[in-house]
Amino acid sequence: MRITVFGANGRTGRLLTGQALAAGHEVAAVTRQPDSFPLHHDRLEVVGADVLDPAAVDTAVAGRDAVLSTLGVPAGKEPISTYSRGVANIVAAMERHRVRRLTVVSSSGVDPHPYSDGGFLFNRLLLPYVTRVAGKTLYHDMRRMESLIQSTDLDWTIVRPSGLYHLPSVTDYTVVQGHADGRFTARADLAASMLALLDDHRYVRTTIGVITTADNPTLLEWIRREALATS
């Protein structure tokens, strides 16, 4: 297929682009910093564009079979609108060019639930702090993004991973419709699940959770490696 990946220069976006190329797809990798994109391939087009630029988004979407978004911005106290504004531009371009398939990364933090393996520290302290305080504006904008997508007649799937972390390869990850009872998702598994959705119509116009059930970090390991990471 001919696919466009927005947020391609992020940690999940790079994995998704690499997996898509390995699977034989033609990929347009959209990034604001094309010179720093590390992948090269004869079926790869690196597109220098900002998702907030409607004209640039329109060009990146034209002639494609599917659009995958791994957009991500850091949490902060200031208002965030990248998700909702960016996806609004993507949706408009898809409707204009009659591109149907859209898969977008959101987060389990949009609709937080206690986890069976979370324990008091995670469920009662860390999860409320992340979703209601530290990430309040981020999750508000993700909710706006999800509502916008759900109001379209596109063949969309919203993917909600849990806490992201690094594993060197794809595992036997779990996909469920709605909430997934697991605290962690490897980026390699998130990318693989998005790619698999291109050929899987069971989850069209639904929200799914993706979790990794093998080689999960402990909470302290995750905080040290991911939550406190500088990049």
Closest CA to 64 of 34, 93, 35: 93
Closest CA to 122 of 222, 226, 209, 190: 222
Tokens of 2: 């001919």
Q: At what angle do helices 11-22 and 187-196 cross, to 10 degrees?
A: 50
pLDDT value, residue 226: 85
113 CB-side CA count, 13 A: 14
Strand order in the sheet with 101-105: 44-48, 26-31, 2-6, 66-69, 101-105, 155-161, 206-211, 174-177
Tokens of 67: 């659009």
Place of tokens 């987060």: 107
Tokens of 150: 């759900």
pLDDT value, residue 227: 67
Neighbour tally for 81: CB within 10 Å: 15
Tokens of 140: 């508000």
pLDDT value, residue 121: 86
Cβ–Cβ under 8 Å, residues 39 and 17: yes
> b/e for 92-102, b at 16 or more Cβ within 10 A?
ebbeeeebebb
- Euclidean distance between CA atoms 70 and 68, whole angstroms: 7
Three-state DSSP class for residue 107 = coil
Low-confidence ranges of the chain (pLDDT < 70): 227-231
Closest CA to 20 of 174, 211, 194: 194
